[in-house]
Structure 1
Amino acid sequence: MKLNSFDEWSPLREVVVGSAVNYTSHERELSFDLFFHDNLVRSEWYYPRLSAPSAGKSASAIKQRYVDELNEDVENIARILESLGVLVHRPMPVHPSTNEVKTLAWSASVVPALNVRDNTLIVGDEIIETPPMIRSRYFETQLLSPVFADYFRSGARWTVMPRPLMTDASFDPSYANSNAGGPIEPVQDPEKSPYDVGYEMMFDAAQCLRLGRDIVANIATANHALAVDWLERHLEGRFRIHRVYQLSDSHIDSMVLALRPGLLLVRSPEVVDYLPAALQKWDTIVPPPPESNNFPVYDDDDLILTSPYIDLNVLSVDPYTVLVNDACPELVRTLERHKFTVVPVRHRHRRLFGGGFHCFTLDTVRDGGPEDYLN
């Protein structure tokens, strides 16, 4: 089928499900800590507060049992979507020999294309590869090249946003510096590089909420603002961009998701205050806070990358059918009370790998079109 995806809820026909093959570690360095700032600074329930990493880069190994269970869960997600009649595409796995990438300015470890939502924005019939925010993910979309090439041959547009040089000076640290605490010191004296060009555009597609011909984009830094400027100019006449500010440090799909026209799933009532006026008129579902026993107990050396609200990161198969983590009964019951058919799916280690069902998937074909849902 031809690429066609304008929203988050219309009947899903084709999707990319990420891969966790050869996921071995997280590399903590400036871009990683800035990106995960909001989650790294917190110490919820029994989780340990992190100490500052050593200067430069430091690898945080992931225990093999977690990786094995993650692979089991990801493959099960793909099977369940296929059982629901959805055509599932997969990225190329990272080869074990590929453990580092290098650019003019830096080198970094490599992670597989697991959270495929993050670095690709699908707008109608166009694939837009967004400028990455974490160095280890710089070339991640290349693992999706065979999938994108097939859609291109079928008529899709395929665009790559400008790639940042990503030196230390490229990052706007103001958001992290204004939120006290956490694992990193305020960023005031970035390491000099001959390739410094000042702030550059860096922005993940998961900072966007797609609503037919409208796109809500979250901006927390100058890096985000530059990228949204680019999006506005590139999509002018086809889509309307609505800016929201500091709804989160980056991604918003564990803060707000559109389940169908007129209905939002939100983390708290306060989230609505950040949204465009037209969206504030939509009905909302606010589930109860998750319970601590919804999550595995981890060791002190395990790196926690998401808040306990990660299970709001659901995937809609159609306006009345939603994939939800089976470990989150409060959310399941809430959605069932609102007449949704809930498909419970196992996903154990979402807090270790930074994503839920919405993050792990990239919907490439849905039935919806460029409708105007805000007027």
Structure 2
Amino acid sequence: MTDGTAKLNSFDEWSPLREVIVGSAENYLSHERELSFDLFFHDNIANDNASRSEWYYPRVTPATGGGGRREIRQVPIKARYVDELNEDLVGIVEALEKLSVTVHRPLALDAATSEVRTPAWSASVVPPLNVRDNTLILGDEIIETPPMIRSRYFETQFLTPIFNEYFRRGAKWTVMPRPLMTDASFDLSYARTATVGGPTEPVGDPQPSPYDVGFEMMFDGAQCLRLGRDIVVNVSTANHAMACDWLERHVAGRFRIHRVHRLSDSHIDSMVLALRPGTLLVRSEAVADKLPAPLRTWDLIVPPTPQANNFPRYQDDDLILTSPFIDLNVLSVTPDTVLVNDACPELMRELERRGFTVVPVRHRHRRLFGGGFHCFTLDTVREGGAEDYLS
């Protein structure tokens, strides 16, 4: 952790940014396809159909064993992509530091750490890259959220030195209940009934475990849109709803929770981001229609449809994890300054037309690693407070 003196303080998505964590991709070798992974990325790895263009969603099918049971399968990531991702992460850090933002980095995944085990299952380990996912910063509190992907179960431990330092400076530090995460823990209803675009991969029947307890809390910080004292939360499964119940009770009297339902399979930050009070960046006006009534009066920026040539072309064995709308996943440094992927000239022009200063930064393989600038960062110190933007 770099030297810093500020206390944890982050209430929204746009106030002047002072300190931030940028994720690490060291020793990212593969994706492990098993039930939790396929459910998490289901909207993007589901089978193609007539309503989807070939570049939009890849043709990926699950590996199955006898009786239709899913087999765990490693999908290697080419070393060239990881090397280029690490180069781009350095570029993100440098861009933020030039804007006078203090940048912290998590512990790197050691190459010898290949597996995580619990009483119920084992999984490969991935590095702490999309650090927005498993932590929610609410004001002066760190909340570690219950993961939705088994391979990320202990991911927040890579952030322990940073969290320790904020705790020493006075931050609250909370860990939400950790799920046992057997097959029976997952609510499969979204994947079976509500995926965008039509026919989807079949989701096999859950396999029994002696540790089955039924549905459990599973939830990511990236399901939350922070607006001062208000938090908009995307809820698409019983797992999310249980976690949102916990969060609502935990922050009662300090924050107001506003639920939106099935805005996406999980994360909200490639559907809608608040760029400053009164202005939303949204994937479409249909997305805005699902938001709480006060937000529907805000100005909307609907970016142009992404173009295929904004993205690298990949081979058939490369597993694509996001839709082309991933570049809506921008990071606000001030209410007027936004980090945007330099491969998106249409989005940059639209933001500039609306009066924003755009800082173009290279990020090539966002579709392979499941995250944009907002996903790869966790803002820990901003100047804003618990303002009321919705009353």
TM-score calculated relative to the size of structure 1: 0.98
Q: CA deviation at 1:53?
A: 2.0
How many residues matched? Answer: 373
The CA deviation string for residues 17-69 of structure 1, in whole angstroms up to 9 with x for no partner, is 00011000000000000000111125534364112223320000000000000
Paired residue type of 2:281: L
Q: CA deviation at 1:181?
A: 2.8
Which residue number corresponds to residue 91 of structure 1? Answer: 106
SS at match of 1:122: strand
Contact 1:99 1:110 (8 Å CA) reproduced: yes
Gap regions ≥5 residues in structure 2: 1-5, 65-69
Q: CA deviation at 1:154?
A: 0.2
- Equivalent in 24, 30, 35 of residue 25 of structure 1: 30
Q: CA deviation at 1:328?
A: 0.5
- Equivalent in 127, 130, 143 of residue 115 of structure 1: 130
Contact 2:230 2:257 (8 Å CA) reproduced: yes
Contact 1:6 1:369 (8 Å CA) reproduced: yes
Q: CA deviation at 1:79?
A: 1.0
SS at match of 2:166: helix
Structure 2 residue 199 is matched with structure 1 residue 181: yes
The CA deviation string for residues 184-228 of structure 1, in whole angstroms up to 9 with x for no partner, is 3134x3100000000000000000000000000000000000000
- 1:216 & 1:4 partners in 2: Cα distance? 19
Structure 2 residue 223 is matched with structure 1 residue 207: yes
- 2:41 & 2:58 partners in 1: Cα distance? 15
Which residue number corresponds to residue 3 of structure 2? Answer: none
| Aligned residues with identical type, % of pairs | 73
What are the residue-to-residue correspondences of 1:24-43 with 2, within 5 Å?
24-41=29-46, 42=48
SS at match of 1:278: helix
Structure 2 residue 59 is matched with structure 1 residue 44: no
The CA deviation string for residues 289-309 of structure 1, in whole angstroms up to 9 with x for no partner, is 000000000000000000000
- 1:48 & 1:274 partners in 2: Cα distance? 28
Moved more, 66-75 or 42-51: 42-51
- 1:141 & 1:56 partners in 2: Cα distance? 27
Which residue number corresponds to residue 295 of structure 2? Answer: 279
Paired residue type of 2:86: N
Structure 2 residue 360 is matched with structure 1 residue 344: yes
Contact 2:18 2:101 (8 Å CA) reproduced: yes
Which residue number corresponds to residue 173 of structure 2? Answer: 158
Which residue number corresponds to residue 67 of structure 2? Answer: none
- 1:253 & 1:48 partners in 2: Cα distance? 22
- 1:328 & 1:44 partners in 2: Cα distance? 19
What are the residue-to-residue correspondences of 1:117-136 with 2, within 5 Å?
117-136=132-151
Q: CA deviation at 1:75?
A: 1.1
Contact 2:17 2:333 (8 Å CA) reproduced: yes
Paired residue type of 1:274: K
- Equivalent in 374, 378, 384 of residue 362 of structure 1: 378
Any runs of at least 4 consecutive aligned residues in structure 1 with deviations exceeding 6 A, and if so which?
none
TM-score calculated relative to the size of structure 2: 0.94
- 1:193 & 1:51 partners in 2: Cα distance? 25
- 1:370 & 1:51 partners in 2: Cα distance? 45
Contact 2:45 2:58 (8 Å CA) reproduced: no
Give the aligned CA root-mean-square deviation in angstroms: 0.9
Structure 2 residue 342 is matched with structure 1 residue 317: no
SS at match of 1:356: coil
Paired residue type of 2:11: F
Which residue number corresponds to residue 308 of structure 2? Answer: 292
- 1:199 & 1:243 partners in 2: Cα distance? 19
Structure 2 residue 270 is matched with structure 1 residue 264: no
- 2:257 & 2:58 partners in 1: Cα distance? 39
The CA deviation string for residues 54-103 of structure 1, in whole angstroms up to 9 with x for no partner, is 33200000000000000000111011101110000000000000000000
- 1:249 & 1:167 partners in 2: Cα distance? 20
- Equivalent in 64, 69, 81 of residue 96 of structure 2: 81
Paired residue type of 1:329: P
- 1:119 & 1:284 partners in 2: Cα distance? 28
Structure 2 residue 105 is matched with structure 1 residue 105: no
- Equivalent in 182, 192, 200 of residue 167 of structure 1: 182
Q: CA deviation at 1:162?
A: 0.2
- 1:30 & 1:373 partners in 2: Cα distance? 39
Q: CA deviation at 1:150?
A: 0.1
Which residue number corresponds to residue 198 of structure 1? Answer: 214
Gap regions ≥5 residues in structure 1: none
